[in-house]
Amino acid sequence: MYDIPKFWINLDGLAHASNLNIIESCITRVFCMQGALRFHHWLCDVIPTAVDRLSRNNWLDKLAWNVRHAVEQKQAATFDSANYLPNLAFPKVYSLEPIKAFRFDQRELVISMTSSIVRLWLGFPSDEFSFLQLSLIDIVTSKTLPSVLFLDKLWDMYKSPFTTIFNKWNKRTSKALMKTSLTKFQTRFTHHPFAMADSLEYDKLKHLSWLITQWKEKNGINVEIANVASYVLQAFVISY
């Protein structure tokens, strides 16, 4: 009997803790999506730049140079991360088979091979499922407010695109069909209320953005979630 009053005294605190757990889970999900997309964009930017630079000033330039040489000479080559990034916690080796087909412009091939090597070394997902996840999030966030990522349905889409967006797909669907369907999705999402600035749904996303800002200020959180990934990138590219 003596413990029953303690339950009622602590009930509000328990409910508040439960609400905080929900918010923390939501923030974690948004960090996962924004972080993955930020690293993906970074890689898509630095690889072509390194290939076009035609220098050997840093580890990525050296890698791109050596990949180009192997492609042009149609030679097999082995790329050990220890020779370029000796401090990686989990060193890996990429084996490049000879490229026999002739191409007048080898640039796209060199970019593709260099990207595959860096993805392996840095532990990037290499399957088409990951490509699909990132593409969907990229399309959505490029056409509406970032607060859309806080919606449960967006997380469901990210984790299970084959059951939420493309019901007739599976993990064996061809890459060509994926790209065609993603193009259609992008066109259709342009006309979705979330992407239309004069819609009620867009206004609700703006209100959600305001609520998120207020919550972060109240709790002393002044850093955008996506910036966490930026800090990791900045620390990593010191050697770059």
DSSP result, 218-231: HTT--S-HHHHHHH
Pairing status of strand 77-80 against strand 93-96:
antiparallel
State both tokens at 140.
């959505």
Say yes or no to pLDDT of 222 above 90.
Answer: no
Among 93, 82, 57, residue whose Cα is nearest residue 240: 57
76 and 159 in a single domain? The answer is: no
Q: Does the residue 51 lie in any domain?
A: yes
Number of domains, the chain: 2
Q: Does the residue 35 lie in any domain?
A: no
Among 40, 39, 63, residue whose Cα is nearest residue 50: 63
Residue 194 CA to residue 157 CA, distance in Å, equals 15
| Confidence tier at 236 by pLDDT (50, 70, 90) | very low
Among 159, 161, 165, 155, residue whose Cα is nearest residue 188: 165
Q: Yes or no: say if 114 and 55 are a contact pair by the CB < 8 Å rule.
A: no
pLDDT at 233: 47
pLDDT, tens digit (0-9, with 9 covering 90-100), for 104-145:
678 889 999 999 999 999 999 877 788 889 999 999 999 999
pLDDT, tens digit (0-9, with 9 covering 90-100), for 196-207:
999 999 999 999
134 and 205 in a single domain? The answer is: yes
157 and 198 in a single domain? The answer is: yes
Say yes or no to pLDDT of 232 above 60.
Answer: no
135 and 211 in a single domain? The answer is: yes
State the pTM of this model: 0.76
Which is higher by pLDDT, 154 or 19?
A: 154
What range does the domain containing 230 cover? 127-239
Say yes or no to pLDDT of 230 above 60.
Answer: no
pLDDT at 148: 94
152 and 234 in a single domain? The answer is: yes
Q: Yes or no: say if 117 and 79 are a contact pair by the CB < 8 Å rule.
A: yes
Among 104, 121, 138, the domain-final residue is 121
106 and 51 in a single domain? The answer is: yes
| Confidence tier at 238 by pLDDT (50, 70, 90) | very low
pLDDT, tens digit (0-9, with 9 covering 90-100), for 51-110:
999 888 899 999 999 999 998 888 899 999 999 999 898 999 999 888 776 666 788 899
